[in-house]
Structure 1
Amino acid sequence: MNERDNPPAPAFETVLRAAGVRITRQRRTILEILGDGGDHPDALELFRRASSVDATISLSTVYRTMKLLEEKGAIQRHTFEGGPSRFEQAAGQHHDHLIDVDTGEVVEFRSDRIERLQEEIARELGYEIVSHRLELYGRKRG
């Protein structure tokens, strides 16, 4: 998973326009920053990045924009180990997360073995998986 997996800002704009939301200069800046990043920023980090581009952007604008995108299914909110909510694009291939407990870095990964094992366990227990999230917490060796 990397930066090119994120949709460009116009994809986020399309979602908001379809919801009847006006795309202001400040909101467009936030969407561009969100679309350019390959990470899982929290609202404060998005605000820091956006306000360095446009000093008129408020933290409340960031929060409102993220809430709208989440409500419309364009982004997902994650809260790793009680930390601040962090955001990532909702569309795209399913993946899981490994969170570095020392740095807070979020590493995305996909494992067909893990996916098969989850399906097997659910089937053995008489279930069909309709959704899941896997978060691993670790520390770099060495």
Structure 2
Amino acid sequence: MASEKLIEKVRRDFSTHLKRSNLRATEQRYEVLNSILEMKGHFGAEDLFVKMKNEGKKVSRATVYNTLELLFDLGVVSRHKVGNVFVYERAFGREHHDHLICVNCGTIIEFRSEEIEKIQDEICKKYKFKPIRHTHQIYGLCAKCAGAKK
């Protein structure tokens, strides 16, 4: 899990973002943030909503979806399209990685490739481009689904 200092910085940044956007800093929005801070791996908005409801948290589905959007804009979570839905994950306190996403069953395989990172750096240098962040996603069929399609 991310360090306490990093978590506190995320909370402060979220507060600042809400103020700048003229949005209310509601208890429910902070409940969503706190639940995300506890999440491991990938999750859907609906998964997060159900988890929070099962824990007795009083939060609306709309608040979960809207807060996820705010946190995505702030860079607290990243999102990946899997089929017709978005899947989220914490974007801080984790080692950078990329994804293989099965378009059939939705399986997400995380991977890290120094070669890909090197090529991206070389391309940015060639075009005098300063990268801020990136995601690399390869869509296809996982081994199980590819075997079933044969």
> Which category of TM-score, normalised to the shorter sequence, fits these structures?
0.7 to 0.9
> Which digits, 9 at most, give the CA deviation of each residue in 1:20-39, with x for residues without a partner?
34240x33332222111122
> Which digits, 9 at most, give the CA deviation of each residue in 1:14-69, with x for residues without a partner?
22222334240x33332222111122212111111111112521101101211221
**Residue 92 of structure 2: SS of its match in structure 1?**
coil
Kindly report which structure 2 residues correspond to 1:22-101, keeping only aligned pairs within 5 A, or say none: 22-24=25-27, 26-54=28-56, 56-80=58-82, 82-92=83-93, 93-101=95-103
Q: Which runs of 5+ in 2 are unaligned?
A: none
Shift in alpha-carbon separation, 1:128–1:97, aligned structure 2, 3 A: farther
Give 1:134's match in structure 2, choosing from 127, 133, 136: 136
Kindly report which structure 2 residues correspond to 1:104-115, keeping only aligned pairs within 5 A, or say none: 104-115=106-117
The structure with the greater share of residues assigned to helix is 2
CA RMSD of aligned residues (A): 3.0
TM-score (norm 2): 0.69
Q: Do 2:2 and 2:92's aligned partners in 1 also have CA atoms closer than 8 Å?
A: no
